[in-house]
Amino acid sequence: MDKTGIEKMLRPKSVAVIGASATPGKIGYTVIKNLLKDGYKGKIYPINQKESEILGLKCYPEIGQVPGEIDSAVMCVPAKVMAEVVEECGRKGVKGALVITSGFSEIGRKDLEDEVVRIARHYGMRILGPNIVGTLSNSEKFNGSFAPCLPLPGKNSLVTQSGALLIAMDMATYSRRIGYEKMISIGNMADVDFADLIEWFQDDEETSCVSLYIEGLRDGRRFIDVAKKSNKPIIALKSGVSAHGAAAAASHTGSLAGGAKVYSAAFKQAGVIQATDLDNLFYRGLTLSMQPPMKGDNFLIITNGGGNGVLATDAAERFGIPLKFAPDDVQAEMKKHMPEYGSAKNPVDMTGMAGNDWYYETVKFAIMNKWTDSVVVLYCETAITDPAEIAASIKRAVDDSGVKDKPITVSFVGGEKSDKAIGWMVENGIPAFFAPDTAVNAMAALREYAKLQENKKSDGAKTDEKAKKLALEVIAAARADGRTSLTEIEAKKVFELYGMPTTKIGLAKTEEEAVKLSKEIGYPIVMKIVSPDILHKSDAGGVKVNIKTEAEAREAYNTILKNAKAYKADANIHGIAVQEMAPWGTEVILGSVSDPSFGPTVMFGLGGIFVEVLKDVTFRVTPVSKAEAEEMVSEIRGAPILSGVRGEAPRDRKAIIETIIKYSSMIYDLMDEIAESDANPVLVYAQGEGLRVADARIILKKK
Ligand code: COA
């Protein structure tokens, strides 16, 4: 991907403001004012057909008349003239445009947007937006927006799909003392999207963490590919995760908000850390931009208050980094800096007697010793200490330790002095917060980042060409028959082609065939109606189980046919499936959907009530790697059931993992054909005994 256009729009040496205005309060006026006020050093060319000068700058009636080169244009003209103006910019050789103007796809005028992009592409020009606030960059002193001012400087950069949020967060950087290097409003993403900007940020030395506010992604697969390669942490807040929220987001940006679970899965696969709310995006982003990843699970909590220590310990468990007792040698050292009634176990409670020196010694040792991978320092403001001095001691301990690859986060609970000390620490590169939970949550983000980095090495897609060819033949036959769903027999055939063991099954069109098949398969057997018009077979009385004899087989065959006709007189009945009655096993479910943002996506969970009532399922975007399949099996809440509970033998985990991978290949290979599918139940046997797909369903995409 050519980054020139993005480079020109984010680091322009010269910028034209098209639709610049001399009328205070108008956006075209505000952009010029902001560029001047915030100290932009490049050349500014206001373009206005009537004015000769705006805010002391010479105006040009059209961009073509500006002498010399122009890197970027900020568009503040109405949507109806945008195509014309973009054409003029293209002819002038402008390589990037920030299109502030609204009135495009977000109100159903995708045609206008497409036209603008078509013209821009013709000239090799990139478009940010439309429907944006603009962009802000501290290092460039560039405020090409109608946001009031540049944010407080930081090493973190934000890309947001909501312009209003950019303005609000811009202001909040000052009250929260959490700064940003760049803030980019991405709007309708007609051209430049999240993936493009993540790619561009790789070489931006001013940015050490990329924060995203996402309402919906269009090309989720490219997002995953690009984010996976990122050399910087990426943190994303995805809105629209509730059903109601999704509807709001969809109407806001015109983009599709995919399922929350699919987004979470995709973020994991892409190595993207997820923020749970706006606060979280702020402080996790700050921490990721300042501190190295937490490479192992061992960390020490150092405190002068027992209550704070307990709160932090609880938070550690909640946020996935449970605390361990410190080894004896660490405890022995810690004991040197606390009264007898202190505790060195972890949390290291130095008690309210702790002063500057104890904080210094303890923090320094904690960072330097081999056992610890990170340190969370807590402080409660007391009358015998000065928060500023404690903060200085912590900073000195970090500096004197000389250790650069172990992260630290801090919590200061107290009044104004503590608040000031927090600000001072943040300015000096130590993420510091009020609540102990926040300090722990921030540390958990650094642990998540380290783990995600390890997991990013996926083994990718391997198409099974032979299986694919034969499966496509089965699908083509069903389509030729005018169907958009496969029968169970056909679906199982496709599963078998991809190497997934299914229960034996055959189609009987007469009572005699049913008897013959039953004998071949072996009693006990199951019989099921096969009809594209009857999807809920049990409801129609179309299933009989545990058929043990020929007489029972004859009776079942006739009863099912009778029930089916009674259920739907004109149902197209293909016959009756005669199926092996597989021995009982633990029921699991595999499913797939074609996600609007990420495409073919698979689901795994325990079957029965676990899926129906508890919705205990997990997703991954295909292709699923072995490590990801293992994660899927481990991360469902019911995972212990598969490990064997109440004296039961553990289930065949290896077989489940292999099956998830095979299922993922099937869904990936057949993504143009399969809309949805499931294998439910899959019966899983004891370790070494494998599993069997007992029922399978494949719904085809409408063509
Ligand atoms: N070339 C140069 N200037 C042109 C022009 C052209 N082809 N066509 C119009 N202009 C000038 C106008 O004369 C005017 O200047 P003036 O104040 O001197 O008269 C200026 O461009 C702006 O045009 P105007 O018609 O007055 O529009 P506006 O300022 O009321 O609104 C937008 C323009 C872009 C701000 C408005 O259409 C819009 O989209 N607003 C929403 C922005 C937004 O919310 N973005 C998303 C945030 S999340």
pLDDT digits (tens, 9 = 90+) for 1-16: 568 899 999 999 999 9
Q: Find out whether the beta carbon of 85 lies less than 6 Å from any atom of ligand 1.
A: yes
Average pLDDT over residues 388-404: 98
pLDDT at site 273 = 97
Q: Find out whether the beta carbon of 163 lies less than 6 Å from any atom of ligand 1.
A: yes
Q: Could you give the percent of the chain with pLDDT greater than 90?
A: 86
Could you tell me the pLDDT band of residue 676, with boundaries at 50, 70 and 90?
A: very high
Residue 101, sorted as left (phi over 0), alpha (psi -120 to 50) or beta, turns out to be beta
CA–CA separation, 116 and 546 (whole Å): 65
CA–CA separation, 542 and 531 (whole Å): 10
For residues 459 and 143, the model is more confident at 143
pTM: 0.91
Is the pLDDT at 256 greater than 50? The verdict is no
Average pLDDT over residues 226-243: 90
pLDDT at site 253 = 34
Averaged pLDDT of the chain = 93
Residue with tokens 């963490």: 209
- pLDDT tens sequence across 148-168: 999 999 999 999 999 999 999
Q: Find out whether the beta carbon of 100 lies less than 6 Å from any atom of ligand 1.
A: yes
Q: Find out whether the beta carbon of 21 lies less than 6 Å from any atom of ligand 1.
A: yes
For residues 456 and 398, the model is more confident at 398
Neighbour-count burial for 106-133, b at 16+ CB within 10 Å, e otherwise: beebeebbebbbebbeebebbbbbbbbb
Determine phi and psi for 191, rounding to 5 degrees: -130, -80
Average pLDDT over residues 432-452: 97
| Cis peptide, bond prior to residue 583, ω within 30 of zero | no
Q: Find out whether the beta carbon of 527 lies less than 6 Å from any atom of ligand 1.
A: no
Burial of residue 312 (number of CB atoms within 10 Å: 0-12, 13-18, 19+) = buried
CA–CA separation, 87 and 119 (whole Å): 6
Going by alpha carbons, the residue nearest to atom 12 of ligand 1 is: 19
Average pLDDT over residues 647-667: 94
Q: Find out whether the beta carbon of 131 lies less than 6 Å from any atom of ligand 1.
A: yes
- pLDDT tens sequence across 86-103: 999 999 999 999 999 999
Q: Which of 17, 18, 23, 27 to mutate to test the pocket of ligand 1 (most atoms within 8 A of CB)?
A: 27
Is the pLDDT at 383 greater than 90? The verdict is yes
pLDDT at site 564 = 94
**What is residue 669's DSSP assignment?**
H
Contacts of 185 (CB under 8 A, 6+ apart): 128, 129, 132, 133, 134, 135, 145, 160, 163, 166
Burial of residue 210 (number of CB atoms within 10 Å: 0-12, 13-18, 19+) = buried
Is the pLDDT at 448 greater than 60? The verdict is yes
- pLDDT tens sequence across 469-516: 999 999 999 999 999 999 889 999 999 999 999 999 999 999 999 999
Is the pLDDT at 251 greater than 60? The verdict is no
434: nearest Cα among 417, 408, 414, 420: 414
For residues 248 and 431, the model is more confident at 431
pLDDT at site 108 = 94
Average pLDDT over residues 19-28: 97
Q: Which of 77, 92, 94 to mutate to test the pocket of ligand 1 (most atoms within 8 A of CB)?
A: 77
Average pLDDT over residues 686-696: 94
Average pLDDT over residues 405-423: 97
How far is the centre of ligand 1, averaged over its atoms, from the C-alpha of 212 (Å)?
Answer: 28
Average pLDDT over residues 248-277: 73
Average pLDDT over residues 528-552: 90
Could you tell me the pLDDT band of residue 245, with boundaries at 50, 70 and 90?
A: low
Is the pLDDT at 703 greater than 50? The verdict is yes
Average pLDDT over residues 398-403: 97
Is the pLDDT at 461 greater than 90? The verdict is no
Q: Find out whether the beta carbon of 46 lies less than 6 Å from any atom of ligand 1.
A: no
